Structure 1
Amino acid sequence: MKKILSFASKVPMLWLVLACGLAMGLLWRPHQVIAQWVVTILVAISLIDTLRGMIDDVRHGHVGVDILAVVAILSTLAVKQYWASWAVVLMLYSGDAIEQYANNKAQGNLTLLVEAAPQVAHVVDGGREARIDGHSLPEESDWKTVPVAQVALDDLLVVKPGETVPVDGEMVSPSATLDLSTINGEPMPRQFYEGSQIMSGAVNGSGTFLMRARQLSRDSQYQRILNLVRSAQSSRATVVKTADLMAVPFTVLAFIIACVAWIISGEPTRFAQVLVLATPCPLLIAAPVAYMAGSGRLAKAGLLIKTQDVIENLGRVSHIFFDKTGTLTVKRPQVTHVDMADQQSAEWETGQVLAMAGAVESYSVHILANGITAAGNRVEEGRTRQGDARFKAQDVQEEAGNGVRGLIDGHTVRVGRMAYVSGGDPAVSESAFAPLAPDEMAAYVSIDGDVTARIVMKDVPRDDAAQTIADLHALGIERLSMVTGDKEESARVIADQVGISDVHAGLFPEDKADLIAEAAKAEPNREPWWDRWLSKFVGESITRSITLMVGDGVNDAPVLAAADVGMAITDGTTTAASESAQAVIMNDDIASLPRSIAIARRTKRVMLQAVLAGLSLATVGMLCAAFDLIPVVVGAFMQEAIDVVSILWALTALLGSGLNLPGIPWVRVRHPCG
């Protein structure tokens, strides 16, 4: 009931029109003149409201073609078809209601993300903070609830069970269980420990915990997600803008048919009969609804886009470039073993070194840091069971491209390249350790300036990477390339395992960007027929290849920007991704890529079907009305039926992709007309 009342409050004119219709029905026989005045006043009110809406549309860059509705209402009134006038006004405002419903339905998945945004935070009072040892929880009287925008850097915050983490920060309590499904769709809660970085938007489990704010609300992860959502909601795809413009010639066509019918028949009623059936809604409403529905469908599949133009480009992609590490391979290259330096093996144990390195690397954004942190956590779990305290890193600093350092129990620990951890000492080199295998990589560790160990990791493909490549081939995309800064030998090992034959190794970011720019000049292998048809209106060349770059979003910013579509694949905790890419896979699932392309293609196909079906039905209806086959009142209701058909058809973009690729359990959708 609450939802019904809320919806009703958004369309007050519809209720006024229905009330006037009831009054006309009661007054028509005893007081017909009064009933006629009722509809005349209603028409005047609706015309003023419609004209204001047209002016507002033009101000916002939309084509104002409600002139058809205006002329239809006036023409029916002029020929004294009062019930037809009322019917046209009813259709006008019921159309608004249908449009609102369709937009709400289309934006549903995006709106859920916005509504889940953190609103408040519990800030521990500064005067009381000194009494809290970091593990004990304050009394409720020691903290106050404020809007999340008022949280300052380094504020101590209380997060109660079931509440949303308000800002990005650092765990102060010993541990907590957080649900990340709102951020990245991860189904299972994740355990976080003291010193861990936690993201806004995560939902607390069953225990209250303390955290330290490290970002303001406007700079936190969830706010970046919301920026992507709002950008997609406010954008208008090029095809949708073109559809707006195509509404103008349709309006002209409607007036031509109406005028010819009037002139040939000599009956002014024919003019009204034609215009009440003239509806540009398939262009003005169905097209944007389909694209907004596609945006919501992509969000549900784990992909957030910045603009709706991404949907168009995704559907036309003909060449896809993949980064290797963290994209085709797992986010956490697995630690296979630790090689200790001979002179340090007596002073430090292997487990200690790995745990200390993991504590420092937990603050790093480098792709190798995840694997070291995970291995270090496994060691720490064993140490804590034996009664040892967890290592906690302080004063952590990262030097991009070289490594990270921090203080642990008074020791300076460095993890990264050999030159970085050794302080540039030429007497120390990688030759002190045995050579690495082609598919191995290493990070070096120094403690208090002495090179202590080498952590050896191995890159392994994602479990579904090979199936993803196969699905892309099934979609007709044959040009698939790997671009990486790694060595040719290690790149080839992964490429062979996932099924990519075109490998470009040893590249710097600028080399990758140049390679993508060159690929854009090539002719695409295949394009859907509707792209060729739309290119005539949009003015795009059908010979240019559309490129897509998939990367982890951290080290690939310039490369993601170079492609027509830059797609960052993250687990929802990488803030750099939303800055550098036009699309972000939030659930760390590379299988979302072929799903997204299929959804984008289907969205465009559904949009075209809705537009063409709606315009075809409207044109046939106008021609029938021109030959006096459809009465004016019936025509008004038929116009609304055409609108409903085209809009509901557009909403089917919310449903399954209509494809049935191996490994992708989509539901095949049948449209109402076949």
Structure 2
Amino acid sequence: MTPQSILAMLALGGLAAGALLHLAGLPGAGDAVWLATTVLCTGVAAWWVVEGLRRRQLGTDVIALLALVGTIAVQEFLAGAIIAVMLTGGRLLEDRASRRARRELGALLARAPRFAHRVDSGEIVTVPVEEVAAGDLLAVRTGEIVPVDGHVESGTAVLDESAVTGEPLPAERQPGELARSGVVNAGSPFHLRATTDATSSTYGAIVRLVREAEAKSAPFVRLADRYAAVFLPVTLLLAGGAWLLSGDPVRAVAVLVVATPCPLILAAPIAFTSGMSRCAGRGVIVKSGDAIERLARARVLLFDKTGTVTTGHPRLDRVLTATWTRSDEVLGWAASLDQASSHVLAAAIVRAARERDLPLHLPTGVSEVPGAGLEGMVEGRSVRLGKASWVAADPPAELVESARVEAGHSEAATVFVGVDGHLAGILLLRDPLRPDAPRTLRLLRRAGIERAVMVTGDRASVAAAIGDYVGADEVHAEQSPEGKVAVAEAASATAATVMVGDGVNDAPALARAGVGVALGARGATASSQTADIVITVDRLARLAETLAIAQRTRTIAGQSVGVGMGLSLAAMVVAALGYLPPVAGAVLQEAIDVAVILNALRTLFPRGPERAPVLRGDDAELVHRLDEEHRRLWPHVDELARTAETLRGAPEDRLAPTLTELSTFLAELAEHEREDERVLYPAVDRALGTPEVTATMSRAHAEISALIRRSESLVAELRAGEAGVETRERAAQALIELHALLRLHFAQEEENFHVLAPQVQE
């Protein structure tokens, strides 16, 4: 139990006990209890005032202290006890609303490596990480965190660097290359030659940055104290004037009693607490009412890329195939072999195969060749995964170069698949964009965000493309943790900022920005603890909802304070004229409190942008099912361009299987689009309350349907053997048009509709 809780219970208990004693015919004892309650809270209020003066803050506690002292001086003990209850109850609510659970340094240190495996005279000795010095040879085992910065000494290091750099894809470090502390060994064990000690390492620097950022954070100035700067002198002048003109000190006490700023003490904390409750109901943890107030004023959005506007984990993007195989075959071979692998990309490859309902076979004779890849037998065929030069003796140069160029443009990882010594295909995996990212930024701009700035450690070319996609005004790429802090400080110097991130490398910038928001569903613990706000569900759109809640919370809190102060000022004038004694003033003040509290509680009830449209029940399940169909159809959509090339150049004897598969896919696609139009779009219209959004999507359905019919007609001619080169070309052109339109349409549906269903997740 906190001290604030104990004080509030004592004050309430004293008020109740005194009332019971009066009812029992013991007024003297009752007055004594009320006096003791008042004296106790007077001492506490005096301490709060002294503490405020030490921080150079003269707030509302001064008025409450004067009112308590005044009731004792004129022996208005009941009024004093009532003020004591209001004062301690308000402080309790405020404490619960603004108390922060900051343990970011503890989270960082908890993740930091504590031990290292040093190689001494051929033996591996486990030592505290503080004993590691530059030049030591260390062994880093699978799954361990690299303890200090160093160069890879032997073996190929496969490192998960997402917690430090934000990069979602694993990085390979060859002998002689640098491995930074704080990253995780996601591959085989390797040896590391330390170049720093633990204090000077990359991870140690991040800890220091958070410590410095926290030291620079400005103290929280309560909303009530800002109003008190005006309210306090007005109260003192009115009370002093009433006493001076009437000669009756009771009038001054009455003015102080009704001036006790309970609308300030109670209304704002209750509004902010209600706002925090609203956020919690949407899966967003706000650590203080102060954070809501600062978020409501935010005008500049700073955001990381990896894990923020992207999902933060690799997914299969495309399958490039050799002329003698198909994409499903390549993926099936790779996924079957990867079932026996612990590589970071293996899970993504296996998941992609299962999403396409491909049959997987148990591999045999599986072995890993460090620095090269994985090999084994799958249904009697020798399959290799890894580098191009290893999986095949003479891989087609054109296919390899095409894959590398495409991977460079889209920041994708490449996995080459060899079968029986020949290159069968290439898997491209990348960190996909969140479907709700562009929509979220649009909602944020509608809510008052004037500038959106991406701050990322990724390459400039990739960051610029993603920045354009989501609608960023500025892009700061290739930023270190120090660079992110510098951008956050520069932006915060000119406007109220909010920073969104999810990795350890974002933690210093989150602490330094006006408001730090961490995506904590899969984000690093340190960023979640450093941030003021943590989004615990894997949905970026919750940020826009939280901003809307914060703005309405701040508005309602201001209304409650303004109305309460206005009524208090009116009561003060009546008390100064002698028409309102202290006890009646205290009761009137309670009535004012009830009014402003009821108004503050309006924050609990959503309205406007806070009430985000969400599909529920059968409608949400429908979207979930259609989302799964999208996942199944996407690979076939991506194959359309390759199929078009096949139609243009394949010999007649190899055309039949392609036409059969194409005909089946076109029929499935037509049925999917009809289902969207017949069932999904009406459900979305109900959720949004308007058919305007789906109207343009329905127009796209009409275009897709027309292209499907034309393609089916041309395919039928080709299957009948009655068409020539011209028909092939028309069919190929129709497929290319359909490919482009489907990619755009599917992306639009996933952005606009699928984010409405809570159970549809990446």
Cα distance per residue 1:179-215 (max 9 Å; x no partner)? xxxxxxxxxxxxxxxxxxxxxxxxxxxxxxxxxxxxx
- Greater relative contact order, per chain length (Cα 8 Å cut-off, separation 6+): 1
Which residue matches 2:40?
A: 49
2:222 is paired with a residue of what secondary structure? Answer: helix
Shift of 1:589: 0.9
Q: Does 1:479 align with 2:451?
A: yes
Q: How does 1:424-503 map to 2 (within 5 A)?
A: 432=400, 434-435=402-403, 436-437=405-406, 438-439=409-410, 441-444=412-415, 454-457=426-429, 460-482=432-454, 494=466, 497-498=469-470, 500=471, 502=473
Aligned to 1:290: 271
Q: How does 1:396-435 map to 2 (within 5 A)?
A: 432=400, 434-435=402-403
The corresponding residue for 1:545 is: 495
Q: For the structure 1 residues 582 and 431, does the alpha-carbon distance in structure 2 shift closer, same or farther, using more than 3 Å as the test? A: farther
Instruction: State whether structure 2 residue 525 is matched by structure 1 residue 575.
Output: yes
Check the 8 A contact 1:606/1:653 in 2, yes or no. yes
Aligned partners of 1:511 and 1:78: how far apart in 2?
58
Cα shift readout 1:31-58 (whole Å, capped 9, x = no counterpart) = xxx62x2244124311332134235546
* Residue identity in the other structure for 2:402: A
CA distance in 2, matches of 1:651, 1:237: 29
C-alpha contact (below 8 Å) 1:282/1:611 kept by paired residues: yes
In 2, Cα distance between the equivalents of 1:392 and 1:629?
A: 97
Shift of 1:404: 12
Range with bigger deviation, 484-493 or 264-273: 484-493
Distance in 1 of aligned mates of 2:560 and 2:319: 61
| Secondary structure, aligned partner of 2:562 | helix
Query: 1:233-632 residue pairs with structure 2 within 5 A?
Result: 240-241=221-222, 243-244=224-225, 247=228, 250-305=231-286, 308-331=289-312, 334-338=315-319, 350-357=331-338, 360=341, 364=344, 371-372=348-349, 374-375=351-352, 378=355, 382-383=359-360, 432=400, 434-435=402-403, 436-437=405-406, 438-439=409-410, 441-444=412-415, 454-457=426-429, 460-482=432-454, 494=466, 497-498=469-470, 500=471, 502=473, 504=475, 507-509=478-480, 513=484, 516-517=487-488, 520=491, 544-553=494-503, 556=506, 560=510, 563-572=513-522, 574-575=524-525, 577-578=527-528, 581-632=531-582
Letter in 2 for 1:455: L
Letter of the aligned partner of 2:82 in structure 1? L
TM, length-normalised to structure 1: 0.56
From the two aligned structures, give the one with the greater helix fraction: 2
How many angstroms does 1:282 deviate by?
3.0
SS at match of 2:500: strand
The answer to whether the aligner puts 1:21 opposite 2:23 as a matched pair is no
**Secondary structure of the residue that 1:444 maps to in structure 2?**
strand
Q: How far 1:629 moved relative to its partner?
A: 2.5
- Specify the code of the residue in structure 2 equivalent to 1:258: A
Letter in 2 for 1:456: L
1:14 Cα offset (Å): 2.7
How far apart, CA to CA, are the structure 2 residues paired with 1:285 and 1:107? 13
Residue type at the aligned position of 1:443: T
Map Cα deviations across residues 96-121 of structure 1 (whole Å, 9 max, x no partner).
Answer: 457657877x699x99xxxxxxxxxx
| Alpha-carbon displacement from aligned partner over 1:121-167 (angstroms, at most 9, x marks no partner) | xxxxxxxxxxxxxxxxxxxxxxxxxxxxxxxxxxxxxxxxxxxxxxx
C-alpha distance in 1 between matches for 2:356 and 2:373? 20
The CA distance in 2 between the partners of 1:13 and 1:280, in whole Å, is: 17
Matched, 1:93 2:85: yes
CA distance in 1, matches of 2:442, 2:39: 58
1:219 paired residue number:
none
Residue 358 of structure 1 and its aligned partner are, at CA, apart by: 6.7
Deviation at 1:626, TM superposition (A): 0.5
Q: Shift in Å at residue 595 of structure 1?
A: 1.3
Question: In structure 2, do the counterparts of structure 1 residues 597 and 453 end up closer, same or farther at CA, with 3 Å as the change threshold?
Answer: same
Shift, 1:265, TM fit: 1.5
Unaligned runs of 5+ in 1: 1-6, 28-33, 112-235, 398-402, 522-540, 668-674
| CA-CA distance at 1:634 after TM superposition | 1.5
**Secondary structure of 2:308's aligned partner:** helix
Distance change (3 Å), C-alpha of 1:338 and 1:14: same
Deviations 1:569-623 (A, max 9, x none): 3434643542564433221111112112222222322332232222222222111
**CA distance in 2 between partners of 1:392 and 1:569 (Å):** 41
CA distance in 1 between counterparts of 2:366 and 2:7 reads 56
Aligned-partner Cα distance in 2 for 1:634–1:277: 9
Quick one: percent identity of the two aligned structures? Answer: 32
Contact in 2 for aligned 1:509/1:559 (Cα 8 Å): no
**Aligned mates of 1:101, 1:518 — CA distance in 2:** 32
After TM superposition, give the deviation of residue 637 of structure 1 in Å.
0.2
Kindly provide the amino acid, as one letter, of the partner of residue 656 in structure 1.
Answer: P
Q: Which has the larger radius of gyration?
A: 2
SS at the partner of 1:277? helix
Does 2:591 align with 1:641? yes
Alignment partner of 1:276: what SS? helix
Query: Pairwise CA RMSD of aligned residues?
Result: 5.4
* Distance of 2:9 and 2:467 partners within structure 1: 57
Question: Quick check: 485-494 or 250-259, which moved more?
Answer: 485-494
Amino acid at match of 2:435: D
Name the CA shift for 1:457/1:274 in 2 (closer, same or farther; >3 Å): same
Give the counterpart letter for 1:270 in structure 2: R
Distance 2:357 2:376 in 1: 14
Relative to structure 1, is the Cα distance of residues 326 and 66 closer, same or farther in structure 2, using a 3 angstrom cutoff? closer
**Which residue in the other structure is 1:38 paired with?**
29
| SS of residue in 2 equivalent to 1:629 | coil
Q: How far is 1:344 from its partner?
A: 14
Q: For 1:455, what is the secondary structure of its paired residue?
A: strand
Contact 2:373-2:384 at 8 Å conserved across structures: yes
SS of 2:263 mapped into structure 1:
helix
1:167 alignment counterpart: none
Please tell me whether the aligned partners of residues 460 and 494 of structure 1 are also in contact (alpha carbons under 8 angstroms). Answer: no
State the distance in 2 between where 1:97 and 1:289 align: 11
Question: What TM-score do the two structures reach when normalised by structure 2?
Answer: 0.51
Q: CA deviation at 1:494?
A: 4.9
CA contact 1:54–1:66 (8 Å) conserved in 2: yes
CA contact (8 A) 2:264 2:561 kept: yes
Question: Is the partner of 1:550 in helix, strand or coil?
Answer: strand
Question: Is contact 1:359-1:373 (8 Å) kept?
Answer: no
Deviations 1:253-312 (A, max 9, x none): 433322221221223332232222121233334334433443333333333345555434
The range that moved more, 483-492 or 455-464, is 483-492
CA distance in 2: counterparts of 1:20 and 1:391, whole angstroms: 84
Cα 1:653–1:373 shift into 2, 3 Å? farther
- Separation of aligned partners in 2, 1:40 and 1:614: 29
SS of the residue corresponding to residue 427 of structure 2 reads strand
> SS of the residue aligned with 2:412?
strand
Residues 463 and 477, structure 2, Cα contact 8 Å, conserved in 1: no
Counterpart CA distance in 1 for 2:51 and 2:372 is 49
